[in-house]
Structure 1
Amino acid sequence: MGSIGTRRPIRIANCSGANPDPGYKMLEQTTAGQVDAITGDYLAEFNLATNALDYQAGKHKGWEPTCEDGILQTLEAANSKQIKIVVDGGALNPKGLAERVQSEVTAKGYDLKLSYVEGDDVTSRLEEIFRGAQFEHLDAKNEGVKIDKLTRDWLSRDNKERPEIISAHAYLGARGIVAALRAGADIVICGRVADASPVIGLAAWWHAWSEHDFDQLAGALIAGHLIECSGYGTGGNFCGFTKFPIESSVNLGYPIAEIEQDGTCVVTKHEALKGRVTRDTVRGQLLYELQGNIYLNSDVKADIKNIQMREVGDNRVNVFGVKGYPPPATTKLAMFYQGGYQLEWYLAATGTLGEVYAKWDLVEAQIAHAMKRRGISKDQLDILEYQRIGVPETNPRDQYAGTAILRVFVQGESRDIVTQVYASWCEMVMQHYSGMHATLDTRTAVPRPFLGFVPAIIPQSALKEKAVLLKPYTVLDAGTVSVTEALAPLIDEETTNPVPLESFGPTIEARMGDVVYARSGDKGSNNNVGFWVHEQDEYDWLRSALTKKELIRLLGGEWKEEFALERVEMPGILAVHFVVYGLLGRGVSSTARLDNFGKGLADFLRAR
């Protein structure tokens, strides 16, 4: 293993991109080849929110069980091979997980120093930090963006009238991680650090970067983003998977970043494991859950407008061209509040498309009639949507192929009113459309609490980030950033030099996916989607044809006038990237969309 300040690149393997990733993936990354460090990203809005209530009620340990399992499986190998482990799986209780692992380390007699990072949980400090002032939404200063109505309503209420805030976690950078590693920690357990912060921390420690080495930090930030989603970097969530045998996409090995002293990196994987690392898979991961031309972290802003990638060997992609700038004075604050109650249920229908749509029209009319009889109006609800899913085949080969689904989704602050929407359907059920059928499991039709999500901002100066070593017990103040820079407006551009489309020859109508790859994902209440091609002439066509107006046309019924759209070109990787502001409503934890993580938007657009 290298020492601090070495010029050799640090080899960092990722073992998790979400809490379902099993523990054995951490052990696999440790033993299938040589690495210097392991990182795991176990947190998302969804699980951080859903575990908060149970943790406060004493029904949850506060950390992610898969993270605990991975560390315990890996301790022996990490001890013998001197491999560092930095994870965010401590979630709501990083101290508790650190103490759990320490007990195992002590029992086995391993020579490993445990630490944890704290300071992200500011739930109890909100009044002290904001002193009664209104919270500022993350997108508030973005001109043209309209914050979701339900979120605006929550923000505008008096503090005493707002539904209870369940949790509030600031997205921490790498300062606490670096402090722990420099103090000799072998395992660093974090709560809500930003997804790429473990990689930044390891690279900054290894190469002895200062907090002002912005180009290097920015390169590590992008390297962290490229490996943070485990299998997404090696062939998972990849629209080009159909070009390979199905078996080659089963049980993927996870990605590795080799980060150089200058912050550039090579993305790779263990050769002994399955999967693929190509310019396509790496571009796909870069364009996933992206804001635009600037990628933000508490430590640095990374400008990726001119990022470049090149394949330098089998399963080896060199990434360079990232420019770094000082971070903003604020960081993201993920707040979750008692949003109310929601339920949903599904109905199935067979027949021609016209017949099926007539059946759905009847359902809506019947529910509206029964709600009116009960004295309930749609205005008393936050959301009542009838989502028509799928199209029955013509001359279907079996009944499943000739079936479409209706999803009825309901949200509101009043449990009783939400309940009565489903009761309205039940009241009319014996007047149903011909051939009505549905699952007999109605548990989703029982009102359950949901948490609303507000992505706000918090001054970095208000944070009290610390790294704590357990043996000997040592508390290290991680400090705050000393140099900041305001965030300039994100680039929103149409192509400056379009190529006349007729110059490409005769035009035919075809699926975009026949020639274009894409990846999409959630960014709070927004959905991003990036498109890329393989050759320069294809890119000249893509950047000329795929204007903002054209994307709105392709979005079809998904587009609403209250949404906003940003566009940026990335010529170094032959990509055009968009952010659709507002598509996910209040975000993953409470959106009405079936595609709640926004992953399916890219494939919908490729099918147009």
Structure 2
Amino acid sequence: MPSENNNANTSRRPVKVANCSGYHGDPAYEMYRQATLGNVDFITGDYLAEVNMANNAQAYQKGEHPGYEETAWEGIKQTIEVISAKRIKVIINGGALNPKGLALKVEELVRSKGFDLKVAYLSGDDLYSKFGPNMPKSKDEIRHLDEDNQSISPGPLTYAFLNSANPVPMVSAHAYLGARGIVDGLRRGADIIICGRVADASPVIAAAWYWHSWNEADYDQLAGALVAGHLIECSAYVTGGNFSGFDRYPIERFVKPGFPIAEIESDGSCTITKHSNTDGMVDVDTVRSQFLYELQGNVYLNSDVSAILDDIIVEQAGHDRVRVGGIRGYAPPPTTKLAIFYPGGFEAQLLLNATGYGTNTKWDLIEKQIRHFIPVQALKNVDTLEFQRIGVPAANPASQRSSTTYLRVFIAAVSAQAVFSVVMAMKEISLKHFSGLHSSLDQRCAIPRPFLAYYPAIISQNLIDEQINFVEGPDNVVSYSTGHPPNFEPLAPRASYDHTPSLSEIALLKAPSRRIRLGVIAQGRSGDKGANLNFGLFVPNPQHWPWLRSYMSRTQMREMLATDDDWDDSFLVERVEFQKIHAVHFVIYGILGRGVSSSSRLDGFGKGFADYVRDKVVEVPAELLPLKTHL
């Protein structure tokens, strides 16, 4: 057991924290693998995407869903003997909507096997009773996450719930909790802690905080642990999954990558690794990729600490071992994120195929026809109607499939009837369509289906009543209030800047160049945070860094999108850079619409955006490229 004084224990070895889940679909057996393939001190698991709790909320309220994630329960059942024998502590957010329910089942399992393990659960994240049962009648009642950014123009559907004359029911409202409540539970002797909506990295922060006996104001150390948690929270994303550089290695290496481990030092620095007898890989590129994922600029916020990322260092420290350091921290913000979902209405899509010759004109015709046959009043009630042209037919095609592309007609509205009016317009067209129109035999996606709309908000941390609760029998729960952080630092305007090229860099940009795809020399990662898309690029070869940081400006990012369907003048581009890892990072505000389940984009979570940009052709100084480099 670590000492419980208020000073960081600088003599203790690094704590080994193994992650067993990045979302609820990761296999339950990964917990068992992390416990048995080597020695670890903690197992953490992140089972929650922003929407999967809301998807289950209504069923849980009706008694038709247990509220917790089944893969979390299955993982514990498979692993409980090893957890007990090896004294591994477990912290997971698989409790989701019902952490108490899962904790009761785990405690019953522990008791039935006669193990000496204390089970606890964290509560306080569910704020539906405080802010529900309906959505606010004014945007001032619950502030939007991006409201304080004066440079952003809210999208037309950001406050869609205010357009209804009747109250709009709230489905769920969950605050993102930090690590302090988990730490309190560990210090009181908990072996297994079941959480609901804690921030993704909070279990990892808590493990290191407890292990090293940090003080709650040891911000540099806490910030380092926050980054360690960020790096391993998405399971295989740091060991070869979703890795843009995979094509440079034998693909067999990425079939079943192992899950990650963070070895966190007393100063907050860490080494990212994995069990040696697993596939995948951990190198500076996989770690840089995951670091850039879902960032929101150069400061990473958590309920317990704000991490300054500008000087991050990522270094290879051995085979499948990468050291990460250079993180500094300061007090957390006085607010935390509140994820709110409400019924957004109904949505549907039509998928129509065209083959080869004259495709663009064919799509022009079908769009005019559909719009013509939608009743005028019905069209007024449609919130979103988009005609998205997907793919480009091959030149001189070798097969019909290579010549075929499709049109995705996306429809969303408050009422199912309004959505169905667009679908029915296709019936009116009947045999009036362009030459060669065809579609899939399965058109179930054309039937209007309900969807949940997402409203990301911020609330004061002082409004949260967080408690750690110990299950001491089927009818006995002992609870302790965990309080709030002692200090807060108000949110500052977010950094956004371009690099000012030096004279040598200006000369480099003017030097003779060659046209190549950006992905030839740059790797990247992208993802979503609500309505906003985040996107990072880095160059594995340091010689390419002066060009990348000079070339990839905010203006260049806008120009890359300006001639595509991706850009709207209401969007805002922010840019920062991380010089020591040769990376630039962008946030594009508003490009994902309302985000999550509400997005109309084909790639609604922004996962493919990085490789789209990497496929762009750019001018790179010839002196930086080997002669064999080509498009």
TM-score range, shorter chain: over 0.9
Alpha carbons 1:501, 1:545 under 8 Å: kept = no
Contact 2:350 2:445 in 1 (8 A): yes
Corresponding residue of 1:23: 28
Q: 1:258 to 1:87 in 2, by over 3 A?
A: same
Deviation at 1:224, TM superposition (A): 0.1
Which residue in the other structure is 1:321 paired with? 326
Pair 1:433 & 2:434 matched = yes
Residue type at the aligned position of 2:539: V
- Opposite residue 398 of structure 1, the aligned amino acid is S
Deviations 1:3-41 (A, max 9, x none): 765611100011111111010111111111111011111
Contact 1:163 1:339 survives alignment (8 Å): no
* Corresponding residue to 2:587 among 579, 589, 592: 579
Structure 2 residue matching 1:165: 3-state secondary structure: coil
Give the match for residue 413 of structure 1: 414
Between the aligned partners of 2:434 and 2:482, the Cα distance in structure 1 is 64
Q: Is the 8 A contact 1:49 1:589 kept in 2?
A: no
Question: 3-state SS of the aligned residue for 1:510?
Answer: strand
Q: How many residues align?
A: 602
Contact 1:299–1:481 (CA under 8 A) maintained in structure 2: yes
Which of 62-71 and 221-230 deviates more? 62-71
Which of 248, 251, 270 in structure 1 is aligned with 2:253?
248
Q: For 2:63 and 2:559, how far apart are their aligned partners in 1?
A: 50
Where does residue 77 of structure 2 map in the other structure? 72
Query: Partners in 2 of 1:328 and 1:131 — Cα distance?
Result: 26
Alignment deviations for residues 315-343 of structure 1 (CA, whole Å, 9 cap, x no partner): 11111111101001110000001111111
Q: Is 2:600 aligned against 1:592?
A: yes
| Secondary structure of residue in 1 paired with 2:387 | strand
- Distance in 2, matches of 1:152 and 1:130, equals 10
- 1:163 aligns with 168
Is the contact made by 2:132 and 2:170 (CA closer than 8 Å) also made in structure 1? Answer: no
**What TM-score do you get using the length of structure 2 for normalisation?**
0.93
Structure-2 residue corresponding to 1:388: 389
The equivalent residue for 1:350 is 355
Structure 1, 398-407 or 187-196: larger mean CA deviation? 398-407
Distance in structure 2 (CA, Å) of the matches to 1:105 and 1:594? 45
SS at match of 1:441: coil
Which one-letter code corresponds to 2:159 in the other structure? Answer: R
1:514 corresponds in structure 2 to 520
Deviation at 1:127, TM superposition (A): 6.4
- C-alpha separation in 1, matches of 2:176 and 2:137: 20
Question: How many Å apart are 1:377 and its aligned residue?
Answer: 5.0
Q: What is the identity, as a one-letter code, of the residue corresponding to 1:293?
A: N
Q: Does 1:496 pair with 2:504?
A: no
Matches within 5 A, 1:238-277: 238-277=243-282
Q: State the one-letter code of the partner of 2:372.
A: H
Q: Classify 1:207/1:526 alpha carbon distance in 2 versus 1 (closer, same or farther; 3 Å).
A: same
Structure 1 range deviating more: 559-568 or 441-450: 441-450
One-letter identity of the residue aligned with 2:529 = K
**Hey, what does 1:486 align to over in structure 2?**
490
Q: Note if 1:367 corresponds to 2:373.
A: no
Q: SS of 1:124's equivalent? A: helix
CA distance in 2, matches of 1:173, 1:330: 11
Change (3 A) 1:174 1:245: same
Checking the alignment, whether the CA contact within 8 Å between 1:40 and 1:88 is kept in structure 2 is: yes
Secondary structure of the residue aligned to 1:177 is helix
Work out whether residues 339 and 450 of structure 1, in 8 Å CA contact, stay in contact via their aligned partners in 2. Answer: yes
Residue 245 of structure 1, CA deviation: 1.1
The answer as to whether partners of 1:2 and 1:8 remain within 8 angstroms in 2 is: no
Question: Which whole-Å CA distance do the structure 2 matches of 1:441 and 1:58 have between them?
Answer: 32
- Of the three residues 568, 579, 587, the one matched with 2:576 is 568
Structure 2 partner of 1:530: 536
Taking the aligned partners of 2:386 and 2:137, their CA distance within structure 1 comes to 38
Asked if the contact 2:2–2:210 (Cα under 8 Å) also holds between the matched residues in 1, the reply is no
Q: In the TM superposition, what is the alpha-carbon distance from 1:157 to its structure 2 partner?
A: 5.7
Q: Secondary structure at the match of 1:256?
A: strand
Match of 1:144 in 2: 151
Letter in 2 for 1:585: G
Q: Is the 8 A contact 1:501 1:541 kept in 2?
A: no
1:334-357 CA-partner distances (Å, limit 9, x unpaired): 0001111111121111113xx122
Shift of 1:53: 1.8
Secondary structure in 1 aligned to 2:27? coil
- AA aligned to 2:526 is S
Question: What displacement does 1:270 show?
Answer: 0.5
Identity %: 49
Give the direction of change, closer, same or farther, for the CA distance of 1:247–1:262 in structure 2 (3 Å limit).
same
Q: Write the letter of the residue equivalent to 1:134.
A: E
1:99 equivalent in alignment to 2:104: yes
Amino acid at match of 2:112: A
Task: Report SS of the residue matched to 1:45.
Answer: coil
Residue 501 of structure 1 deviates from its aligned partner by 4.3
How far does residue 67 in structure 1 lie from its aligned partner after superposition?
1.2
SS of residue matched to 1:347: strand
Partner SS for 1:580:
strand
Q: How does 1:437-448 map to 2 (within 5 A)?
A: 437-448=438-449
**What one-letter code is carried by the residue in structure 2 that aligns with 1:391?**
V
> Which of 296, 310, 315 matches 2:315?
310
Report the Cα distance in structure 2 between the residues aligned to 1:109 and 1:439, rounded to whole angstroms.
Answer: 56
User: How far apart are the structure 2 equivalents of 1:112 and 1:345?
Assistant: 53
Letter in 2 for 1:597: F
The answer to whether structure 1 residue 477 and structure 2 residue 484 are counterparts is no
RMSD between aligned residues? 1.8
2-structure distance, mates of 1:394, 1:497: 41
Structure 2 counterpart of 1:113? 118
Report the counterpart of residue 16 of structure 2 in structure 1. Answer: 11
Alignment-mate amino acid for residue 370 of structure 1: F
Paired letter, 1:333: L
Question: d(CA) in 2 for partners of 1:596 and 1:367?
Answer: 24
Deviation larger for 400-409 or 426-435: 426-435
Secondary structure of 1:266's aligned partner = strand
User: Which residue number corresponds to residue 541 of structure 1?
Assistant: 547
- For normalisation by structure 1, the TM-score amounts to 0.96
For each residue in 1:98-131, what CA deviation from the matched residue of structure 2 results, as whole angstroms up to 9, or x when unmatched?
1122222222222221111111000011169999
